[in-house]
Structure 1
Amino acid sequence: MSSIIKFRALSGAYDDGPLCYLLQIDEYRFMIDCGWNEKCSPEIIEKYKQNIKSVDAILLSYPDFNHLGALPYLVSKMNLKCHIYCTVPVFKMGQMFLYDFILSKNHYEDFSIYDLDDIDNTFDKIQQIKYSQTVSLKGKGQGLQITALPSGHMIGGTIWKILKDDEEEIIYAVDYNHHKERHLNGCILDSINKPTILITDSYNFLYHQEKRKARDEKLLEKILNTLRNDGNMMICTDTAGRVLELAYFLDQLWKNENSGLFSYSIALLNNVSVSVIEFAKSQVEWMNDKIVQSFEVGRYNPFDFKYIKLCTSLNELKYLNGPSRNKLVLVSLSDLECGHAKSLFVDWCSDPKNTILFTSRAAANTLAAKLLEEPKQKQITIQLSRRINLEGEELEEYYQKLFEKEQEEEERLRKSKELESIDESLSEDEKSAEDLVNHIPAGNHDLMKIQENKNQFFKLNRKRFPMFPYKEELVKWDDYGEDLKKDEFAYLIEPNPYEHKQLEVVDIEMPEVENHEQEEIPTKCVSETIALDVRCKLVYIDYEGRSDGESIKKILSNVKPKNLVIIHGNEKSTREMKEYCQKHQIVQDRIFTPKIGEIVNATLETQIYNIKLKDELVSSLKFQKIKDYELAWVDAVVKSGNFDAEFQSGQKSEASTEFGFSLHPLPKDSSDKHKTVFVNEPKLSDLKQIFTQNSIQAEFHGGVLVCNGMIALKKNQSGRIILEGVVSDDYYKVRKILYDQYAML
């Protein structure tokens, strides 16, 4: 049975911006990804706001900001309530991406769009799933199944397969990578054959990628030339996605004694670097087969780094010790708009010995994009923000506001305690009254006597004993049961026999590091425009982990989708991908290239429409049950409505609905009676069993079913059943049983 399928791009169409799309299958609406750019542009979020009320579920493909950056805002600020699905690594690493982004923003500005608590509350609502795990939806999504498949781009990255009634298969595949990498297997998109609809991107369709060996050699050459010439190297990367591939590779280079790199320092710098690597260590099962096998056999974990030091601040990086003062740093955020990467760039860009290496293409209108577009530009002007401690009148004003806030909180607590004391006194009065009542002797037919029995039927209004407040802990579990906690496998700490002995204390001079437990010093953000002399080397080496244009063409030729929706690519790549598919007849039916806000009607049967039935008409219908369905004959007038209004606005209301047409009852004087319609196609073999169950002897003679030797049933050329026989009790009994097999309208 065909479904009504509509698709709409809210962001990420005819450009390389953040990704967010609406997919409607009958009455159920998916929001696939909800990304945001690092500038948190308000025009992007405005498009999301207009549609979130109609969303029934969100599917997240990747953990980076481009795919889920707007999720905490939609959930915490816009009160979005729906099911959210993603894989376990996307859940863990997605939090790391957002934590690093928030902390980086707060270093340079007062970021108030959402905070760390909003992130935690949002991710508490997410349902984590595994690869190849099928989730059957309920309610409006009855008959829909979603399955996560590996994409090969980032750990936990997902190609979503949506199945409707085991017939219509919709594949959402963006930013996939078919190559097997050092820590990830490639995607399995080429194993999918002829899906009903393929939704994919054209981001890399015109891009030619060098072989991995050539890129690795180029990276090693740049590292050696920089460090051996007394320079430092900064590699701009993300927080918890592609950085794992780079970190694993670089740690292997440092372990190789022939490279001579072990004498130089190497660090991973971002606000959550320690947590990122700890999570990576615990997600070996999501990595490639070689890593999984090495871990199972020898408990070898590729992210148990020997040389890479984990730093969370520039101060820690400053005191990084090594045989040489030169260092290589993997740092976020890759667009250089904020974070440690921007600070390090300002410090290192003026030295011609240093190298700034970009591993991915930057978003438009960012500092990284400007540097890559004009690498020979020697001077640039940037807006630099930093935090300074409050002083003088500003500090006094801050403490005054803080004091007023504390006073308000104390007043609130005082009033709360007063209310509690009033409640306690009322409870004591109630108890005293109850004790007085208890002294009254109960009669044989008194209700009070029934309450003295422990197994009483009537429920008391008051608790029998005072109780502490209790909040039930939400236990997370999957198909294999409850999630295990690391603490459950911790060894008991043995008592130290030397604990009470005196030990000699030796003073050791330690470098000063940031103490996060110190009292927070009030600060403010100040901005200034500065001119930078860019004399360092600027290099781009592709470590994005996406399939290139030639690979995309081969994959599309193998998949051969019936319908294709092309998204997330500039106008040229989108147009050429469409022309290529048309020229080589890769797509069997239609190709869609929607613009932002445009609704695509991808319904397979083009003559299927949504029609709204008026309540007056529905109440007059007489339904007949047949198997699992109920049918009714409808005589009505069709009137046109506001087509696609609800899907476009995202609001559910009477005035704006998704139905293009509505049915209204006919006037009573114009309604003619119709002939009786029999709905069903019973087989004679099935009828034979039914007659036998009703004590009627039934046998086949030359393709004719004969009942009790008097009544004959046979099918004509059009498939209709003809009943013949002598009018008798048997005839009417057989006819009644036959009629019961039909819905008569």
Structure 2
Amino acid sequence: MPHTQHARPMYIRLLSGPTTTLGLFLSHSTSCSPPPPPPAKGIDRMGTSVQVTPLSGAYGEGPLCYLLAVDGFRFLLDCGWTDLCDPSHLQPLAKVAPTIDAVLLSHADIMHLGALPYAMKHLGLSAPVYATEPVFRLGILTLYDYFISQRQVSDFDLFTLDDIDAAFQNVVRLKYSQNHLLNDKGEGIVIAPHVAGHDLGGTVWKITKDGEDVVYAVDFNHRKERHLNGTALGSFVRPAVLITDAYNALNNHVYKRQQDQDFIDALVKVLTGGGSVLLPIDTAGRGAGDGMDSMLDEGSARLLLDSTPSKVISNEMTVQVKCSLAYMDFEGRSDGRSVKSVIAHVAPLKLVLVHGSAEATEHLKMHCSKNSDLHVYAPQIEETIDVTSDLCAYKVQLSEKLMSNVISKKLGEHEIAWVDAEVGKADDKLTLLPPSSTPAAHKSVLVGDLKLADFKQFLANKGLQVEFAGGALRCGEYITLRKIGDAGQKGSTGSQQIVIEGPLCEDYYKIRELLYSQFYLL
């Protein structure tokens, strides 16, 4: 099709399989190009609206509970409570509970799901709940244990065992990396749980709408441990929004080998002295075993305790307690150094910080703002922030005739293709068209992001001698590769060039072919 002053190169991504409803992403630079023309009749603006509102757990280490709205569909991210179970702490949740469309649970402890039975019984929360199988099972066990322990010391009546059963009765259980398409009001939204690495079943949630990802990642652990894999968060690239916590932003762990040795030394010292060691753990936390799961399967909904005859005798005595208290961090959360590294690697367009002390939140906010062009937000409780993407995108209908001539290539979960076109209105009138001619071929486009460190390892595996010298990659005796960025662009969104320097020898053509193999050619 002929170019006009508004014609722009476009990337096309299939939204609904083999149909002709496509996401049309107009690539243009907001700094130097004129604004795009208004959408023609029949073309709908496709930008995804995203708002985040903390209901608890912002500028503090309180329970986690956040409201996320994606194009009007309202997610409740976790539904935590404190051990005190004070209903006044749930006032922000009470205001929005009846309007929630879906609840996403990330971990199976009180801080992440403790208020779920109370909210469903008293606050009008009736939305479907999504969780992994371990979070579902361990979550019930955690609440059972909490209820029984509270009844032993007080007249606890905020919820009952039946309320716990009712809250978890219709939980939708998902497997890791399972894409679940929502219906009705949430049509077009896909949710998927991914490994968090903190505890069994711990989840990083990815919410996708019209090609834009919103990632909710709190209490994650990048380390692979003996019983748990590390988080999958590092596999995400350039999500539109990343919601994460600043809980450990000020803490830096010692190396794991040293930490394990210090732990063993402390145990041996006490045991050889004839003492005892107590290790407190959560009910369904990182120390939970298979016995808890079997208890849940075989036991009834209520744990019945036999009443035996007893006589209480009380007296006072003085007991000398000889003990020492040692704190060692085995919580399985990434420390501040690792959190900063993960955020830099994921490189979200917008970052929302929650769940951390005021000092830790401000520290991480300043660090991320200073070291990149990232948009960083740290909202207060009940403060709504708009993190809608700035992408220029439209939703259009493409004809079968056009699609039959498009050559698509697979790129991750998507398909990409090059189309030269102009956006305009459909015209039913018959017009005299000039003789068709073969359009000029467009310049080849390489799609991808190459890291010289990874390419160095790739060339080494191919038997080539490579080394870094002066910021460039020297290949063999004559060939040098340099990566040159666009000085006019900030961050990683600017265009980059890879320059190959050297004589036209056999190594030159071999290295160039290997370099091309790292990209998708359109």
Normalising by structure 1, report the TM-score.
0.45
SS of match in other structure, 2:78:
strand
SS of match in other structure, 1:159:
strand
Is the Cα–Cα contact under 8 Å of residues 3 and 603 in structure 1 kept in the other structure? yes
Equivalent position to 1:580, from 367, 385, 391: 367
Equivalent position to 2:243, from 179, 185, 199: 199
**Cα deviations by residue, 1:654-686 (Å, 9 ceiling, x for unpaired):** xxxxxxxxxxxxxxxxxxxxxxxxx95349xxx
Shift of 1:115: 1.5
| 2:435 pairs with 1:702 | yes
Determine the C-alpha separation between the residues in 2 that align with 1:231 and 1:146: 50
Shift of 1:274: 3.6
Determine the C-alpha separation between the residues in 1 that align with 2:199 and 2:322: 33
Which residue in the other structure is 1:151 paired with? 196
Equivalent position to 1:89, from 123, 134, 145: 134
Which residue in the other structure is 1:52 paired with? 97
| 2:380 pairs with 1:595 | yes
SS of match in other structure, 2:229:
coil
Determine the C-alpha separation between the residues in 1 that align with 2:304 and 2:207: 46
| 2:216 pairs with 1:172 | yes
RMSD: 3.3
SS of match in other structure, 2:366:
helix
SS of match in other structure, 2:215:
strand
Is the Cα–Cα contact under 8 Å of residues 8 and 600 in structure 1 kept in the other structure? yes
Shift of 1:700: 5.7
Structure 1 gap segments, 5+ residues each: 248-272, 280-484, 487-514, 609-625, 629-678, 692-697, 705-745
* Residues 530 and 149 (structure 1), Cα distance of their counterparts in 2 relative to 1, 3 Å cut: farther
Equivalent position to 1:681, from 412, 417, 425: 425
**Cα deviations by residue, 1:27-77 (Å, 9 ceiling, x for unpaired):** 210000010011112221222111101101000000011000000111123
Is the Cα–Cα contact under 8 Å of residues 206 and 213 in structure 2 kept in the other structure? yes
| 2:167 pairs with 1:122 | yes
The number of residue pairs the alignment matches comes to 360
SS of match in other structure, 1:236:
coil
Determine the C-alpha separation between the residues in 1 that align with 2:188 and 2:230: 30
Could you tell me which amino acid in structure 2 is paired with residue 275 of structure 1?
M
* Residues 530 and 209 (structure 1), Cα distance of their counterparts in 2 relative to 1, 3 Å cut: farther
Shift of 1:104: 1.4
* Residues 233 and 276 (structure 1), Cα distance of their counterparts in 2 relative to 1, 3 Å cut: farther
Equivalent position to 1:75, from 120, 124, 133: 120
Shift of 1:242: 1.3
By relative contact order (CA 8 Å, sep 6+), the higher-ranking structure is 2
SS of match in other structure, 1:30:
strand
Shift of 1:591: 1.3
SS of match in other structure, 1:595:
coil
Determine the C-alpha separation between the residues in 2 that align with 1:517 and 1:561: 52
Q: How does 1:83-482 map to 2 (within 5 A)?
A: 83-165=128-210, 167-244=211-288, 274-276=291-293
Determine the C-alpha separation between the residues in 1 that align with 2:268 and 2:310: 43
Is the Cα–Cα contact under 8 Å of residues 132 and 149 in structure 1 kept in the other structure? yes
Is the Cα–Cα contact under 8 Å of residues 60 and 68 in structure 1 kept in the other structure? yes
| 2:29 pairs with 1:12 | no
SS of match in other structure, 1:34:
coil
- Specify the structure having the higher radius of gyration (Cα): 1
* Residues 534 and 195 (structure 1), Cα distance of their counterparts in 2 relative to 1, 3 Å cut: farther
Determine the C-alpha separation between the residues in 2 that align with 1:530 and 1:19: 43
Shift of 1:530: 12
* Residues 117 and 555 (structure 1), Cα distance of their counterparts in 2 relative to 1, 3 Å cut: same
Question: 572-581 vs 220-229, which deviates more?
Answer: 220-229
* Residues 535 and 25 (structure 1), Cα distance of their counterparts in 2 relative to 1, 3 Å cut: same
Shift of 1:135: 1.0
SS of match in other structure, 1:147:
strand
Normalising by structure 2, report the TM-score.
0.63
| 2:86 pairs with 1:64 | no
Shift of 1:517: 6.0
SS of match in other structure, 2:77:
strand
Determine the C-alpha separation between the residues in 1 that align with 2:170 and 2:318: 45
From the two aligned structures, give the one with the greater helix fraction: 1
Is the Cα–Cα contact under 8 Å of residues 557 and 586 in structure 1 kept in the other structure? no
Could you tell me which amino acid in structure 1 is paired with residue 340 of structure 2?
K
Shift of 1:225: 2.1
Determine the C-alpha separation between the residues in 2 that align with 1:522 and 1:175: 45
Is the Cα–Cα contact under 8 Å of residues 98 and 124 in structure 2 kept in the other structure? no
State percent identity of aligned pairs.
37
SS of match in other structure, 1:540:
coil
* Residues 121 and 234 (structure 1), Cα distance of their counterparts in 2 relative to 1, 3 Å cut: same
Is the Cα–Cα contact under 8 Å of residues 16 and 570 in structure 1 kept in the other structure? yes
Determine the C-alpha separation between the residues in 2 that align with 1:228 and 1:627: 76
Is the Cα–Cα contact under 8 Å of residues 98 and 123 in structure 2 kept in the other structure? no
* Residues 160 and 530 (structure 1), Cα distance of their counterparts in 2 relative to 1, 3 Å cut: farther
Is the Cα–Cα contact under 8 Å of residues 130 and 148 in structure 1 kept in the other structure? yes
* Residues 531 and 90 (structure 1), Cα distance of their counterparts in 2 relative to 1, 3 Å cut: farther
Which residue in the other structure is 2:341 paired with? 554
SS of match in other structure, 2:251:
coil
Equivalent position to 2:306, from 498, 514, 518: 518
Is the Cα–Cα contact under 8 Å of residues 97 and 124 in structure 2 kept in the other structure? no
SS of match in other structure, 2:275:
coil
Determine the C-alpha separation between the residues in 2 that align with 1:523 and 1:599: 57
Determine the C-alpha separation between the residues in 1 that align with 2:71 and 2:308: 53
Could you tell me which amino acid in structure 1 is paired with residue 97 of structure 2?
I
Determine the C-alpha separation between the residues in 1 that align with 2:294 and 2:334: 26
Could you tell me which amino acid in structure 1 is paired with residue 277 of structure 2?
M
Shift of 1:275: 2.4
Could you tell me which amino acid in structure 2 is paired with residue 702 of structure 1?
P
Shift of 1:277: 6.4
Determine the C-alpha separation between the residues in 2 that align with 1:597 and 1:531: 50
Shift of 1:557: 1.2
Which residue in the other structure is 1:421 paired with? none
Determine the C-alpha separation between the residues in 2 that align with 1:122 and 1:544: 27
Shift of 1:702: 3.0
Is the Cα–Cα contact under 8 Å of residues 34 and 67 in structure 1 kept in the other structure? yes
Determine the C-alpha separation between the residues in 1 that align with 2:348 and 2:145: 39
Shift of 1:213: 1.8
Determine the C-alpha separation between the residues in 1 that align with 2:391 and 2:236: 25
Determine the C-alpha separation between the residues in 1 that align with 2:233 and 2:193: 12
Is the Cα–Cα contact under 8 Å of residues 47 and 391 in structure 2 kept in the other structure? no
SS of match in other structure, 1:243:
coil
Shift of 1:516: 5.2
